[in-house]
């Protein structure tokens, strides 16, 4: 259902997206390809057909509903991944399945490389879902699994099947099982919320009617670090999803904490704190609770983010007079300035491959999201003419960027491809900012 | 201190004092025991263990012996216990590779019961998922005996053997093709009839291609250069021991080819019908001048 809402969101955005598309598409024409044949660089999408999940005629409407939901969710996941081209069902509505046997050759003729089929049945535990992926040409079963669980888990199961399919083709998990944490404005307070990456299943994590901001997933997806004003001043908290416990992780002497980010090994949290009047960056050892100051410059240093290697940290500093993105070694040495476009750069985010840094940049009084490519030093603008676009964060597979924008008048969470294409809103019933994408 | 104690003890010829001392000692021991145990009860150990127990089965079930049949084996019984569902392997591959093997979904989900921060909210049913190898996998295994000999017959004519043309028709103009070299140590080669899975080869080519950053030669290239890289793919899709078996003489190309293989790890798990534990792949990376 959320999917459907989202679809309408897409439609609303279509104009904007198209505009952005036009602007984002041209890629540096000034880089000549010297004497090399570069062929087939565009990654071909895998054409895939998703058949209705079969139910028996005696099944209740709940089971049939689950079957429809599963197909819809898988279709949405695969389409969203950008790896698959989900063939429109109208193409193969006429294809009949006789006694559970899918006529794979027919699908090969239709151009589908993969065929997803399956069934949903009843069980003491709730439902039994079988998801199968076949290769149409060789008629081989590529992957298959059976899930059993409560009916309420149908959506979960569908995401898992999507994930299985993605792994079967790429070897790596996609985002179908991932979640997005964000700050939602509820009754004047700012509370931490978590939702599925597709906007389903929004859950409120904090309910302290205070201000809770800057949530960041731990790399294992089990903990959240964030800043809360629940005790009056901004302090650093760690929320554990295992037991639902909340811990004040503020190191002694660190007041006014801002913008935490976990190291890739989950052992440290970098954050900034204005202990001595000016904001400096600290690294907290999560297990011992000890922290170490790593920047000592004149001017405010804030918004630290780790490189995926864990060896470097990108951050924002106004040491040169205006806020700009800098990179330093994880120990604080070897500080160098990164991009210099715009007069106000903030909230850097390192791509999972380590080759790019996305950041927000103020251009003509509005924030837009840019991506800096480290190997070439080039900067590409991803958003334009759509009010403010802020707080970029990458999905763990590097195929998407999540951010917040007030292009519709109030702030909402959006995702886009790393080239700025497919900017899509994830509808929330409240104003939402500061997203972070789980593994 | 000691002296005082002695005095007290000495004075304890009085039986009531002796009794009091004994009770005191017993009492202290009890208190110490209770207090040393107490933290285990006060810290909410039960909750996290309950949730972790939820997560472990989800990934652990992938090690349960399922019913995938062996290619070409007699149809009825699943003779090959190591035949896991492909997804099991995928999971295993993920787990082996990633430092944090939790299914990402579960952990966030556990956020739902949140006792300490706020009043407890409704505890969602645990995702008691219980994937098993699908029935149809078994059906498929039964069909397979017919399918695979046929595939095996095809394989010798498969372009992979020719060493130049890509198999599976997927490679096209990619510049990446399969070499026909035999695997080291008796490991079946990916181009051989022992590995009749065109779709897997097609995926492999597509993945390598998307991860290959072609080097830029400042002076341009005068002739086509090729580099052969060999590596082993384990069941789980994990790449092992990539090495250049035939250098191109162009160091940048050689390195870019190796890099492409590194960056493609893990690959998709090997087809679950495939009976061996690994397959050897020899891949030719080709750079052509304009």
pLDDT tens figures, B253-262: 999 999 999 9
As a 3-state breakdown, chain B gives helix, strand, coil percent values, each rounded to 5, of 45, 10, 45
User: In the prediction, which pLDDT does B144 show?
Assistant: 39
- Which domains, from first to last, does chain A contain? 3-170 (3.40.50.10070), 179-437 (2.120.10.30)
> What ipTM does this complex have?
0.78
Residue of chain B whose Cα is closest to the Cα of A162: B87
The sign one gets for the Cα dihedral B87, B89, B93, B96 is positive
Asked if B85 lies within 8 A of A143 by C-beta distance, the reply is yes
Poorest-confidence range of A167-176, A291-300, B185-194, B278-287?
A: B185-194
User: In the prediction, which pLDDT does A339 show?
Assistant: 66
More confident residue, B216 or A22: B216
Q: In 3D, which of A360, A285, A351, A274 has the Cα closest to residue A316?
A: A360
Most A-contacting residue of B46, B61, B78, B105 (CB-CB within 10 A), to test interface: B105
Q: What does the mean pLDDT of chain B come to?
A: 62
Query: Does residue B33 have a pLDDT over 80?
Result: no
Q: In 3D, which of A335, A398, A394, A325 has the Cα closest to residue A362?
A: A325
Window 261-290 of A: residues touching B by CB (8 A cutoff) are 265-266
SS3 sequence of B38-50? HHHHHCCCHHHHH
- pLDDT band at residue A340, thresholds of 50, 70 and 90? low
CB contact, 8 Å: B254 with chain A?
no
Bridge-based pairing of strands A336-337 and A424-426 is: unpaired
Query: Does residue A131 have a pLDDT over 80?
Result: yes
User: In the prediction, which pLDDT does B155 show?
Assistant: 38
* A53: Cα separation from own chain's centroid: 28
Task: Look at the block and give the residue holding tokens 């291609």.
Answer: B209
User: In the prediction, which pLDDT does B61 show?
Assistant: 33
User: In the prediction, which pLDDT does A52 show?
Assistant: 92
User: In the prediction, which pLDDT does B29 show?
Assistant: 87
More confident residue, A268 or A57: A268
d(CA A374, CA A357): 7
Output the DSSP codes for A377-390: --EEE---SSS-EE
d(CA A95, CA B168): 25
B35-62: buried (b, 16+ CB within 10 Å) or exposed (e) per residue? eeeeeeeeebeebbebbbebbebbbebb
- pLDDT band at residue A43, thresholds of 50, 70 and 90? low
- pLDDT band at residue B224, thresholds of 50, 70 and 90? confident
**A397 touches A151 (CB < 8 A):** no
More confident residue, B41 or A5: A5
More confident residue, B22 or B128: B22
Most B-contacting residue of A132, A139, A167 (CB-CB within 10 A), to test interface: A167
CB contact, 8 Å: B129 with chain A?
yes
Task: Judge if the upstream peptide bond of residue B269 is cis by omega within 30 degrees of 0.
Answer: no
Q: List chain A residues with CB under 8 Å of B114.
A: 205, 239, 244, 246
List C-alpha distances in Å: B53 to A76, A179, A242, A381, B46: 30, 21, 11, 45, 10
Residue B63 DSSP class: G
CB contact, 8 Å: B175 with chain A?
yes
Most A-contacting residue of B104, B116, B151 (CB-CB within 10 A), to test interface: B104
CB contact, 8 Å: A8 with chain B?
no
CB contact, 8 Å: A222 with chain B?
yes
Asked if A242 lies within 8 A of B198 by C-beta distance, the reply is no
Asked if A244 lies within 8 A of B114 by C-beta distance, the reply is yes
Residue of chain B whose Cα is closest to the Cα of A40: B174
| Interface contacts A/B by beta carbons within 8 Å | 249
d(CA A348, CA A338): 10
A51-69 average pLDDT score = 89
User: In the prediction, which pLDDT does A288 show?
Assistant: 94
A404: β partners: A390, A413
Q: List chain B residues with CB under 8 Å of A125.
A: 128, 130
B15-39 average pLDDT score = 79
pLDDT tens digit sequence for A173-197:
999 999 999 999 999 999 999 999 9
CB contact, 8 Å: A239 with chain B?
yes
More confident residue, B68 or A332: A332
Output the DSSP codes for A89-108: GGGTTT---BTTB--HHHHH
d(CA B288, CA B173): 11
Output the DSSP codes for B119-174: S--PPPPP-----B--HHHHHHHHHHHHHHHHHHHHGGGSHHHHSSSPGGGT-TTS
CB contact, 8 Å: A363 with chain B?
no
Q: List chain A residues with CB under 8 Å of B268.
A: 167-171
d(CA A76, CA A60): 25
d(CA B143, CA A40): 36
End-to-end CA distance of chain B: 95
Asked if B105 lies within 8 A of A159 by C-beta distance, the reply is yes
A119-125 average pLDDT score = 85
CB contact, 8 Å: B133 with chain A?
yes
Q: List chain B residues with CB under 8 Å of A141.
A: 136-137, 140, 272-273
Asked if A140 lies within 8 A of B52 by C-beta distance, the reply is no
d(CA A199, CA B288): 46
Question: Which tokens go with B240?
Answer: 């092992």
Asked if B133 lies within 8 A of A145 by C-beta distance, the reply is yes
Task: Look at the block and give the residue holding tokens 């330093």.
Answer: A328
CB contact, 8 Å: B149 with chain A?
no
- What's the half-sphere exposure (Cβ side, CA atoms, 13 Å) at B243? 7
Q: What does the mean pLDDT of chain A come to?
A: 87
SS3 sequence of A347-366? EEEECCCCCEEEEEEEECCE
A17-33 average pLDDT score = 41
CA distance B204 to chain A (A): 8
Phi-psi region of B101 (alpha: psi -120 to 50; beta: other; left: phi over 0): alpha
A401-407 average pLDDT score = 97
Q: List chain A residues with CB under 8 Å of B210.
A: 43
CA distance A278 to chain B (A): 31
Query: Does residue B110 have a pLDDT over 70?
Result: no
User: In the prediction, which pLDDT does A28 show?
Assistant: 43
Bridge-based pairing of strands A126-135 and A114-123 is: antiparallel
Residue of chain A whose Cα is closest to the Cα of B131: A147
- pLDDT band at residue B98, thresholds of 50, 70 and 90? very low
Helix (H, G, I), strand (E, B) or coil at A400: coil
List C-alpha distances in Å: A345 to A44, A108, A133, A257, A337: 35, 50, 45, 20, 11
Poorest-confidence range of A98-112, A220-234, B35-49?
A: B35-49
User: In the prediction, which pLDDT does B13 show?
Assistant: 60
d(CA A334, CA B57): 46
User: In the prediction, which pLDDT does A146 show?
Assistant: 87
Q: Which residues contact A436 (CB under 8 A, 6 or more apart)?
A: A180, A181, A182, A215, A216, A217, A393, A402
The sign one gets for the Cα dihedral A226, A419, A399, B127 is positive
Q: List chain A residues with CB under 8 Å of B264.
A: 171
Whole-model pTM?
0.73
Helix (H, G, I), strand (E, B) or coil at B209: helix
Q: Which residues contact A67 (CB under 8 A, 6 or more apart)?
A: A52, A53, A54, A55, A120
A88-98 average pLDDT score = 82
pLDDT tens digit sequence for A208-224:
999 999 999 999 999 99
Asked if B174 lies within 8 A of A396 by C-beta distance, the reply is no
User: In the prediction, which pLDDT does A61 show?
Assistant: 87
- pLDDT band at residue B116, thresholds of 50, 70 and 90? very low
Q: List chain B residues with CB under 8 Å of A145.
A: 85, 87, 131-134
pLDDT tens digit sequence for A233-248:
999 999 998 888 999 9
């Amino acid at each position: 259902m959320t999917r459907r809402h989202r679809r309408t969101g897409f439609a609303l955005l279509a104009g904007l997206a198209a505009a952005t598309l036009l602007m984002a598409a041209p890629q540096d024409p000034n880089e000549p390809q010297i004497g090399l044949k570069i062929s087939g660089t565009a990654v071909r999408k895998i054409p895939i057909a998703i058949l209705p999940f079969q139910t028996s005629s005696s099944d209740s409407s709940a089971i049939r509903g689950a079957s429809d939901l599963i197909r819809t969710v898988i279709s949405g996941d695969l389409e969203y991944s950008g790896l698959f081209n989900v063939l429109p069902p109208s193409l193969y509505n006429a294809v009949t399945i006789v006694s559970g046997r899918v006529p794979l050759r027919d699908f090969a003729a239709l151009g589908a490389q993969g065929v997803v089929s399956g069934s949903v049945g009843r069980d003491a535990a709730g439902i039994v879902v079988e998801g199968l992926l076949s290769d149409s040409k060789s008629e081989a079963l590529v992957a298959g699994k059976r899930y059993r669980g409560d009916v309420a888990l149908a959506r979960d199961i569908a995401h898992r099947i999507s994930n299985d399919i993605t792994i079967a083709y790429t070897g790596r998990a996609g985002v179908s099982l991932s979640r997005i944490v964000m700050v939602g404005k509820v009754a004047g307070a700012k509370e931490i919320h978590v939702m599925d990456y597709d906007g389903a299943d929004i859950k409120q994590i904090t309910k302290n009617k205070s201000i809770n901001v800057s949530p960041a997933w731990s790399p294992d997806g089990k903990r959240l670090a964030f800043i809360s004003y629940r005790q009056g001043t901004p302090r650093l908290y760690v929320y554990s999803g295992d037991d639902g416990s909340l811990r004040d992780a503020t190191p002694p002497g660190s007041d006014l904490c801002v913008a935490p980010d976990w190291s890739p090994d989950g052992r440290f949290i970098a954050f900034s704190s204005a202990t001595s009047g000016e904001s400096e960056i600290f690294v907290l050892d999560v297990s011992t609770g000890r922290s170490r100051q790593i920047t000592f410059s004149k001017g405010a240093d804030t918004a630290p983010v780790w490189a995926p290697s864990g060896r470097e940290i990108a951050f924002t500093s106004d040491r040169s007079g205006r806020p700009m993105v800098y990179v330093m070694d994880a120990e604080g040495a070897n500080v160098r300035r990164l991009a210099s476009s715009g007069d106000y750069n903030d909230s850097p985010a390192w791509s999972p491959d380590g080759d790019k840094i996305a950041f927000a940049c103020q251009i003509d009084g509005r924030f837009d999201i840019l991506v800096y490519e480290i190997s070439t030093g080039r900067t590409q603008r991803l958003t334009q003419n759509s009010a403010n676009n802020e707080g970029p964060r990458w999905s763990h597979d590097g195929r998407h960027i999540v951010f917040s924008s007030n292009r519709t008048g109030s702030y909402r969470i959006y995702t886009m491809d790393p080239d700025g294409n497919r900017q899509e809103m994830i509808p929330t019933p409240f104003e939402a900012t500061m997203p972070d994408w789980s593994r | 201190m000691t002296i005082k104690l002695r005095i007290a003890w000495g004075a304890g010829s009085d039986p009531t004092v002796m009794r009091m001392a004994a009770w005191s000692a017993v009492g202290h021991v009890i208190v110490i025991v209770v207090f040393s145990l107490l933290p285990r009860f006060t810290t909410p150990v039960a909750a996290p263990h309950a949730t972790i127990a939820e997560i472990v089965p989800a990934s652990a079930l992938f090690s349960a012996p399922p019913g995938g049949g062996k290619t070409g084996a007699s149809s009825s019984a699943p003779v090959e216990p190591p035949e896991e569902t492909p997804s099991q392997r995928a999971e295993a591959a993920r787990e082996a590779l990633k430092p944090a093997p939790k299914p990402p979904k579960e952990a966030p989900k556990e956020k739902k019961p949140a006792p300490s921060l706020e009043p407890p909210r409704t505890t969602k049913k645990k995702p008691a998922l219980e994937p098993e190898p699908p029935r149809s996998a078994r059906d498929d295994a039964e069909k397979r005996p017919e399918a695979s000999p046929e595939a095996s017959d095809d394989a010798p004519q498969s372009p992979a053997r020719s060493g130049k043309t890509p198999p599976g028709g997927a490679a096209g103009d990619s510049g990446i093709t399969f070499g026909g070299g035999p695997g080291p140590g008796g490991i079946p080669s990916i181009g051989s009839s022992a590995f009749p899975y065109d779709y897997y080869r097609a995926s492999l080519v597509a993945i390598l291609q998307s991860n290959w950053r072609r080097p830029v030669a400042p002076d341009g290239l005068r002739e086509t250069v090729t580099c052969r890289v060999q590596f082993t793919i384990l069941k789980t899709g994990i790449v092992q021991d990539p090495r250049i078996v035939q250098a191109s003489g162009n160091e940048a190309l050689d390195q870019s080819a190796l890099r492409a293989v590194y960056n493609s790890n893990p690959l998709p798990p090997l087809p679950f019908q495939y009976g061996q534990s690994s397959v050897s792949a020899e891949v030719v990376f080709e750079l052509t001048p304009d």
